[in-house]
Amino acid sequence: MQITDLKCAIIGQHPVVRIVTDEGIVGWGQAEWPKPYLKPHVLFYKPFIVGEDPTNVERVMLKIRRLGSFKPWGAAVSAIEMALWDIAGKASGLPVYKLLGGKVRDRVRVYNGAVRFPMTGYTPDDFAANMALMKASPEKFSIIKQGIGFHSPMPLRLPDFTYSDVREGQFYPNRGPLTERGLKHVIACVEAMKAVLGDEVGLALDCGPGWTVPDAIRLARALEPLNVMWLEDLITGDYTPYVLAQLYSEVTRATATPIHTGEQIYLRHNFVDLIEKQAVRIIGPDPADVGGLAELKWIAEYADLHGILIAPHGIADGLIGLAALVQVCATLPHNYIAFEYPTGRPEWWYDIVESLPNPIVVDSHIEVWDRPGLGVELNPEKARPYLQPGDEDFFD
C-alpha cells in the first residue's frame, strides 16, 4: 500500500486531514477548531509522505516529526499521524487501540471539556450558579474543569486584580503579580464552586498561563483544604512555546495541591524535564498537538514510571479527534485520570460524522468501540455543503 495524496480542508473551523492510498483506504485526522490557518502547514508535509506505506506509521513519522513545533505548529504533524493510524487499523481490520497494545479499560472516563455554559459575571455566586448547571448536565461528569484567574476574564472584569497592566486579546495575554484582592477573589470563587459540587464531583481549575511563582504557591496552599483535582497551566500553557520545568518544580514541592500542565507541548522530548524532575503531578498532552497518538502513549508510560498522572487535553479536537482520544486512552496505564471531552462545533458536525454512539457520554464514561481504525467516518455527501471555496475537490 502507498500514500497517493494528502489533502486538508477547513470544515467549520476545523482543519481536517484526508490521506488517500492506492488501495482506496482513506484515513482521517483533525486539528483543534481555532486553527483555520493550518491548511498550508498540513500540505507542506505532502512531498515527505506520498509514496510511503501508511501502515508503517513510525517510519512515516520519522520523516516529518522533527519538522513540527510547540502549539499550534505541531497540530499538522499530529493530524497526519491520526490519519495514518486510521489507515493502519482499516487495513488490518482492527481498531487502533489493538495496534497500540490493546485495551487496559473498556470505558474511558472524560471530564466536561467543551461542555460549558455561558457566564455573564465572574463573582463567586456566578461560579456557583455555573457549577450547578454543569453538575446537572446529562453526561453526569465526575470531574468538571473551570477557568479562573488568568484563564478567564477576571483580569478585565475585576478592578485591581493584578499589579500589571491589563491587556485585551486572544490566548490569555495577561501575566503578573496578583493583588491581595485578586487572590482572595479567586479563592472565594473556588470555595463557591466546591460548595455546589461537594465531594460528589471533582473540581479541576484551568488557571493560566500568567501566574508568578509566589502567587501560584499562595493559591495552591490556600486551596489545599478543598481537595481540588488540579491547578492547570499556572505558569505556562496555551500557546506558550516553552516548558519552565524548574518553576513548576518550586510550586509542586511547596504544596499538596496537584499541579498540571502540558497541553501546548510538542513531542516526548519536551516532557523529559517535567517528568524526570517530577515538576508536576499531572501532565496533559493533547494528541492533536503533541505529535499524535503513539507520542501521547509513550509520554503516558514514561510518566507512569515516575509516579506522574495523566489527564489528556482535547477540548477543541472535534469528533474525529474525540475518536482518536477514545482509542489511545483505552490503552494508557493506570496513571490515566480522564480526558477532556471535545464536542462537535458547529452542531452540524454530528450530521456529517458517522458511527458515533448516541449518547456519547454515559455517567462520565465513553464505551470503547471496536470498529476498524479510529471507528468513525466523514460522510462526503453530507459534508460537501460545508466545504469552503477552494476545497471542492477534498473528497475526490
Domain count across the chain: 2
Within a domain: residue 394?
Answer: no
Average pLDDT, the chain: 97
* Same domain? 54 vs 151: no
Interatomic CA distance for residues 126 and 192, integer angstroms = 9
- Its pTM stands at 0.98
* Same domain? 39 vs 106: no
With a cut of 90, say whether residue 271 has pLDDT above it: yes
Domain of 352, in residue numbers: 98-373
Within a domain: residue 221?
Answer: yes
Within a domain: residue 296?
Answer: yes
pLDDT digits (tens, 9 = 90+) for 121-169: 999 999 999 999 999 999 999 999 999 999 999 999 999 999 999 999 8
Cis peptide before 389 (omega within 30 of 0): no
C-alpha cell at 322: 474525540
Within a domain: residue 391?
Answer: no
pLDDT digits (tens, 9 = 90+) for 20-35: 999 999 999 999 988 8
* Same domain? 237 vs 116: yes
Within a domain: residue 84?
Answer: yes
pLDDT digits (tens, 9 = 90+) for 132-144: 999 999 999 999 9
* Same domain? 110 vs 219: yes
Within a domain: residue 244?
Answer: yes
pLDDT, position 138: 98
* Same domain? 69 vs 177: no
pLDDT, position 338: 99
pLDDT, position 34: 85
CATH assignment at residue 243: 3.20.20.120
Please report how the helices 75-92 and 293-305 are oriented relative to each other, as an axis angle in degrees rounded to 10.
100
Which one, of 283, 332, 376, 370, lies nearest residue 105 by Cα?
Answer: 332
C-alpha cell at 226: 478543598
* Same domain? 81 vs 221: no
Q: If you average pLDDT over residues 29-55, what whole number do you get?
A: 95
Which one, of 159, 26, 146, lies nearest residue 83 by Cα?
Answer: 26
Which one, of 252, 258, 322, lies nearest residue 286 by Cα?
Answer: 322
* Same domain? 88 vs 104: no
* Same domain? 127 vs 169: yes
Interatomic CA distance for residues 166 and 174, integer angstroms = 6
Within a domain: residue 277?
Answer: yes
* Same domain? 288 vs 330: yes
CATH assignment at residue 25: 3.30.390.10
Scored b (16 or more CB within 10 A) or e, 269-280 reads ebbeebbeebbb
pLDDT, position 369: 98
Q: If you average pLDDT over residues 306-323, what whole number do you get?
A: 98
* Same domain? 162 vs 301: yes
* Same domain? 80 vs 168: no
HSE value, Cβ hemisphere, 13 Å, CA-based, for 149? 29
Within a domain: residue 276?
Answer: yes
pLDDT digits (tens, 9 = 90+) for 242-257: 999 999 999 999 999 9
* Same domain? 206 vs 243: yes
With a cut of 90, say whether residue 36 has pLDDT above it: no
